A and B are shown apart, each in its own frame.
Chain A
């Protein structure tokens, strides 16, 4: 455990060195923006719409007291999407999609000697391969999460409209009420931390693959499992630190 942690920290030390060539790093960054970020928009949109819709319907279903106004449905949907569903659930989804991609891509490069080729050319492979992924994830995931929040709330509103459980006016009134801007900041802080975890842990596990295709598969699975556990763990810690 401590050995792994030490190896992880040593890899981070190599990753956060100055890139060998600025223009090459910027080009890699753009590639990763597309591969890790833009390519995830579809799945984020689908999951967010349905999550928002489900939260809205379940909230409406559970309000059986006439003392609780139906505006609570819009309020609850917004709060749930901002506080937990978008930053945490979408990050868990991204741990599966992006984490496995990073681990398998770098792991395959390891077993096919591409990383050795980089090293003997005089390139710092950890920096060249992993830094753009971490940077792209930390910059683009907040965009994805804001997108998820917006789309999720829209999903909730649309579900209320279609089912007729809550009127559009009630939903929007709840949506606009008791808003604390810090909740968005809290969501963004969580997102950036989770993005770092996903990219760095998956990169670490891929980078240290030893063997063949079976080990690449194992590293890919391990990247998803470890990233997911760390996301939940840090979710608890950050919530305690920032909200309580």
Chain B
């Protein structure tokens, strides 16, 4: 479980996050949604420690994180898996080496054990016979799946996904959503997903946090989001022709 308490962040005079407080629950897919510029990426970066909040606290299972020195953040970071928007796979390493990377860095497993774990993770994301390919030799959807395999290879307690479906066709996007949802339940992970894809929201939104102009505007789930009277949320949710038709 991740507690976010009164997080503030400004860049110059522009306040990006205003007293954001929420709880990301264990074993659930927690979504952060909102328009571009609403502050959802910054909120996620604050959670994983890539951006230092100006004020407020973030704690992982009662362990304070944002107040820690960089060196001590390392221990909690080793329990995180992060899926970046572009995958962020290491270009110079093969798929196998990418997934094995956290194991090489933080475990004392034997080479055979590591290979078994890599193959297990790749099978879990429905990828086989791609071990020796480089990131430049695989498709966007496969890259995301390799990135998920890398993120889960070291058995993380917390999984962060930044726009996991960006640049993917609807069918592949659904596969990725399903995969993240299954992994979350299977391993009882606290998963935080940053998205503005309404398909994802309606498919896997077990807890939804809607950010509007840097404030946490609404909290709910995939069942309540379609029936809310919140004007700003409705503007966001029903901004496309498809969702407007669904509403009718």
Contacts and interface: CB of A to CB of B under 8 A. Distances in A.
Interface of A: 20-21, 23-24, 31, 108-109, 112-114, 116-117, 119-123
B219 to A, nearest CB: 25
Nearest to B106: A122
Interface in B69-89: 73-75, 77-78, 80, 82, 84-86, 88-89
Interface in B102-123: 102, 104-106
9 contacts: A24-B104, A108-B91, A112-B91, A113-B84, A114-B90, A116-B50, A116-B88, A120-B50, A122-B77
Contacts of B233: none
A120 B104 contact: no
Contacts of A121: 77-78, 80, 82, 101-102, 105-106
Given A113-B88, A114-B88, A114-B91, A120 B82 contact: yes
A117 B77 CA distance: 11
Q: How many B residues touch the partner, as a band?
A: 20 to 34
A172 B87 CA distance: 60
A122 B88 contact: no
B78 A122 contact: yes
A108 B86 CA distance: 13
B95 to A, nearest CB: 15
Given A24-B105, A113-B84, A117-B82, A122 B90 contact: no
A90 B48 CA distance: 44
Contacts of B82: 117, 120-121
B49 interface: yes
A109 B90 CA distance: 8
B157 to A, nearest CB: 13
B80 A113 contact: no
A122 B75 contact: yes
Nearest to A124: B74
Nearest to A14: B70
Given A114-B88, A121-B77, A122-B74, A21 B50 contact: no
Contacts of A119: 49-50, 77
A122 B71 CA distance: 9
A78 B55 CA distance: 65
A117 B81 CA distance: 9
Given A113-B85, A114-B90, A120-B77, A20 B49 contact: no
Give me the 9 closest cross-chain CB pairs, A-B, nearest first: A122-B77, A117-B88, A113-B88, A122-B78, A122-B74, A113-B84, A120-B82, A120-B48, A114-B88
B88 to A, nearest CB: 4
A20 B89 CA distance: 20
Contacts of A117: 82, 84, 88, 90
Contacts of B73: 122
Given A116-B50, A120-B82, A21 B104 contact: yes
A44 B221 CA distance: 64
Contacts of B50: 116, 119-120
Contacts of B49: 119-120
Given A121-B106, A122-B80, 11 more contacts: A24-B104, A24-B105, A112-B91, A114-B88, A114-B89, A120-B50, A120-B80, A121-B78, A121-B102, A121-B105, A122-B78
